[in-house]
Structure 1
């Protein structure tokens, strides 16, 4: 494993090194194309200033000494000829333009305007012939002219190329080694926030990002293990309660018990049944259930079918919505049971659409819970003293409903209505207290009325 890690690091280092060299060459070519003309003009001006001095000194020396002696003493390339031989390769248009600019500089700095001829050797060297004034014979001075594409390049262009390569490599490093892994980590984190268990994120990118990814994966594993342990624990509790419930039911069938004792035992059994069912619902949660398109009014009617029609009234609009049917049915069943347990009959179950939201309301005629205790009532295993005196309730009913609402992207609200208020229309709301379960209706969810 360590050898493979070093191999990956060495490969990455070689890759980034090659990218840096390629970026430097690319930037050098680009800067030469962009700024080569300006630098060439500056170079021509400096070369013209130096050549004007050399030409003047050489012409003064030629007035007293022969050309070969001046060439030997000064090291200048002098040639005695009427006109230099034409170059084997024709000069480029850019070189001709530079030679004309150099001639213009010499004409401005000398008392006469010498002739300047571009010359290009077979190996690519660039030079110019400058005509000198000599009292006896025509003499030409050959001077090399450096090219902007030579190696090593101009220090200014080389510096700009290194800076550009650093910017390119730095930007690509942030994009590939930091930004892309962090984007994948952000997506996985959003899935964790939505209650899902994402797959382990591959540790890639910069070492710091890899360490962050490894810690994130460890956190996700711990969260998944905690959820599994919670589900196992709750399922185990519910399973363990099933056995004594069965034994109690068997004993109740024996004829030795009195009617009062039999009734009390039956009440205890119902309480145990309710607690066990709540634990199983909370352990399941409905997270893995797939959303399907269902006629919501028929689903709610089926959920309410176990209650007597004179105690539970239905006001359901015909709607077809994409939901998790099992989880939603359990949540609405909990709301109906709470209404019968803590409220006053009759209970009204309503279904309607309001402002692109599907609203499900469970009304009763009781005073309901205090508004300031609403957030506490949504917490698991929390009982409100004023409304939890009956048996068979473990404080999970509203917590299950709140969890199902979050699964559907909806929300849970409580509504209080005082029918003694003079400003209230008695026909507007069918009760004094209700819990509203509302779901958003998206474009991909059909909300056409069912037949």
Structure 2
């Protein structure tokens, strides 16, 4: 269901988002441990360069102005005291090392070497006291020193952590969402190549892999349907040909054949020819035949030419259409044969154009088939009347017609009872083959079983 699919996607996004955050935090900690010392040294050098300039300018200003005025004008934190207050928290070894490095930088850049005391008053409040040279009273400058573990982190470390998190998440995504589903699909393909019939592979992983898995499952279903259809066709061939062949063998073994026996043999030969023709039609498909624009009324008249005029009546309107003439002729011939075999004469063959569709109807005067058996009648090798198998009917007539309708982009339907039209119908039951005229000249896709 769509809601379930969206829930899975949201859950997957939340999971990968959490993994990305965790990976970035992990990479940040690792990079701080690996490169924090080098970045701290670079930071100390930059801070020492800036502080040396501030210390020199402040000392020059203190020679002429009082400390409170200098602090007010410059915004520096100046304190007049002999010795700064002790740090409430014991400075860490790394902080002491950073303060010593900062003192060395000041000593390099100033004419004197000032005193530097680390001061740690809170978890995030780290600063140093720097002694200034004043002509009247001792003055100390308090400067905050940023920590490498502060938030937000250093842009360099943050960028490296994001890159590392992207690499980790990308690798895990390829492993979990792509590689593992493809490995399962590869095993299923191997079973198909070995001739087995694997079960449907669960659609999981990335959307692209899921679509590929769904296509594979559809292919497996089509292969299974083809195997079943092939087995059914072979069984149908063996069953339908056995009876006329047995009768022919028996009659040919007789010393002399009477005219009645010869007529029966001829009937059996016709049944064999009909069955063989139906199987060839069903196996041929008709997709390879090119579409040709023909006058349909002439094509249908030629198909109906073998039946007497009093039993098969024609109601054909002039209509030219691009069709596969051989396949369409065979389909109409099957419908006419079924009308005579299962219905009652007279049979009416009608051709007309309705709402930009070519309508071919075959009417007869019989009862027709029950509505609940229509879908079954379209299946290959399905016979509503089991006794028809003895007369050369193998259950492929409507299946062939339905296939021809699909390759022409049309549809097949049955009509029964009274129609909602001004003219009364020419029969009691009909099979209607409708083909769209507007789409008729477009190439049709091959049928998928």
TM-score category (smaller protein) = 0.5 to 0.7
* Structure 2 residue aligned with 1:76: 76
Q: Distance in 1 between matches of 2:83 and 2:207?
A: 69
* Structure 1 residue aligned with 2:61: 61
CA drift of 1:247 comes to 7.1
* Structure 2 residue aligned with 1:121: 121
Q: How does 1:349-360 map to 2 (within 5 A)?
A: none
SS in 2 for 1:106: helix
Report if the CA contact (8 A) 2:24-2:164 is conserved: yes
Q: Distance in 2 between matches of 1:166 and 1:198?
A: 37
Q: Distance in 2 between matches of 1:217 and 1:240?
A: 34
Q: How many residues align?
A: 256
Cα displacement string for residues 229-249 of structure 1 (whole angstroms, at most 9, x for unaligned residues):
222322343445666787799
Q: Distance in 1 between matches of 2:233 and 2:123?
A: 86
SS in 2 for 1:202: coil
TM-score after normalising by structure 2 = 0.53
Cα displacement string for residues 97-128 of structure 1 (whole angstroms, at most 9, x for unaligned residues):
10010001001001111111111013431000
* Structure 1 residue aligned with 2:191: 191
Q: Distance in 2 between matches of 1:243 and 1:198?
A: 37
SS in 2 for 1:83: coil
Cα displacement string for residues 253-289 of structure 1 (whole angstroms, at most 9, x for unaligned residues):
x9x769xxxxxxxxxxxxxxxxxxxxxxxxxxxxxxx
Report if the CA contact (8 A) 2:132-2:141 is conserved: yes
Q: How does 1:211-290 map to 2 (within 5 A)?
A: 211-240=211-240
Q: How does 1:45-444 map to 2 (within 5 A)?
A: 45-240=45-240
Q: Distance in 2 between matches of 1:225 and 1:257?
A: 48
Q: Establish whether residue 4 from structure 1 lines up as the match of residue 4 from structure 2.
A: yes
Of the structure 1 ranges 111-120 and 58-67, higher mean CA displacement relative to structure 2 is found in 58-67
SS in 2 for 1:192: helix
SS in 1 for 2:235: helix
SS in 1 for 2:170: helix
Cα displacement string for residues 138-186 of structure 1 (whole angstroms, at most 9, x for unaligned residues):
2111100011111111111111122222222222222222111111111
Q: Distance in 1 between matches of 2:73 and 2:219?
A: 83
Report if the CA contact (8 A) 2:181-2:204 is conserved: yes
SS in 2 for 1:88: coil
SS in 1 for 2:131: strand
Q: Distance in 1 between matches of 2:114 and 2:179?
A: 62
Q: Distance in 1 between matches of 2:110 and 2:122?
A: 32
Of the structure 1 ranges 94-103 and 235-244, higher mean CA displacement relative to structure 2 is found in 235-244
Of the structure 1 ranges 195-204 and 118-127, higher mean CA displacement relative to structure 2 is found in 118-127
CA drift of 1:95 comes to 0.5
Q: Distance in 1 between matches of 2:209 and 2:123?
A: 53
Q: Distance in 2 between matches of 1:26 and 1:251?
A: 91
Q: Distance in 2 between matches of 1:20 and 1:229?
A: 51
Q: Distance in 1 between matches of 2:124 and 2:6?
A: 46
RMSD of the TM alignment (CA)?
Answer: 2.3
Residue ranges of structure 2 left out of the alignment (5+ in a row): 257-449
Q: Distance in 2 between matches of 1:227 and 1:145?
A: 78
SS in 1 for 2:200: coil
Q: Distance in 1 between matches of 2:122 and 2:205?
A: 51
Q: Distance in 1 between matches of 2:57 and 2:230?
A: 99
Cα displacement string for residues 64-112 of structure 1 (whole angstroms, at most 9, x for unaligned residues):
2222222222111111222112111100111011001000100100111
Q: Distance in 2 between matches of 1:123 and 1:182?
A: 51
Residue ranges of structure 1 left out of the alignment (5+ in a row): 259-451
SS in 2 for 1:33: helix
Q: Distance in 2 between matches of 1:48 and 1:64?
A: 25
Q: Distance in 1 between matches of 2:85 and 2:171?
A: 53
CA drift of 1:132 comes to 1.1
